[in-house]
Amino acid sequence: MLVDTHVHVVSADEAQFPLQPRNFTDEWYREAPCTIERLIELMDNAEVAAAVLVQAVSAYSYDNWYCAHSARRFPERCTSVGAVDVTARDAVDQANGIVHDQRMRGIRWFAVRGEGVREPRALWEAIASLDVPTVVTVLPDRLAELADTIRALPAIPLALDHCGFADFSQGLPDALLALAPFPNVYLKVSSITLDLMAAYGDAAEAVGELAAHFDGRLMWGSDFSQTHDRPYDELAEWGRKGAAKLPDEQHADYLGGNAVRMWPELGR
């Protein structure tokens, strides 16, 4: 069972779901947008069983409606994670609305432009009470802060996007490995991560080493359609190749088992 834990969808109907670009990526949402209908077709062709739709902050900012709407339309194939503006005064209300009103199944804590990681503490407490996973998006220079933050938090299920965009030029970075002792922390090994690993060696070897440190707590994600330099089926095959040197149990967990543990609705 292959589960894509990191995919972005973009509506063809901009009148109903207007874009709200953040202007810190290229305009992938205009160059290669993928609707939920098209994604389901691509998943079928690539033999991907299920997907986690992650709010595309670069395209829609913190307006989660298309992401949430898409998952509700295809509940047998998708679940969704909504993003909160952690700098907003109503961040806690946003988190509650994402889960209770929009029926999304996770909170994306997006902190790549100076947004807080330790704070707001009230938001971490609200997420813990909501009993949903947190998907954290940070750059490498915030990994140490994230580790310090996790020490002070309840054991919230947490997935780190793109392995924190870690630099693998010198092997597995210490800042990433510092997260390994926390059993609630999972790493998303996305297409971006595999490409970064492959630039310095055998990506499958690096995945195997990372899995050994994290006791197999890895999960694959395509990052489609933000990553669109290859067709979706090639991204899926790249994900499978990344698991080539994992032992059987960790192989299955990386491809889908860990995703279903974090989002049980995907295994129903």
Could you give all domains of the chain from N- to C-terminal order, each with its CATH number?
3-267 (3.20.20.140)
For the segment 5-52, what is each residue's pLDDT rounded down to a tens digit? 999 999 999 999 999 998 888 899 999 999 999 999 999 999 999 999
Which residues, 6 or more positions from 96, have their beta carbon under 8 angstroms from its beta carbon? 126, 130
Which residues, 6 or more positions from 234, have their beta carbon under 8 angstroms from its beta carbon? none
- Cis preceding-peptide flag for 21 (omega within 30 of 0): no
- Confidence band, pLDDT 50/70/90 cuts, at residue 92: very high
Average pLDDT of the chain to the nearest whole number: 97
Closest among 220, 249, 244, 245 to 232, alpha carbons compared: 220
Report, as an integer, the average pLDDT of 243-249.
96
DSSP-assigned beta bridge partners for residue 218: 187
Verdict on whether the full-model pTM lies above 0.85:
yes
Report, as an integer, the average pLDDT of 148-157.
95
* 187 residue type, one letter: L
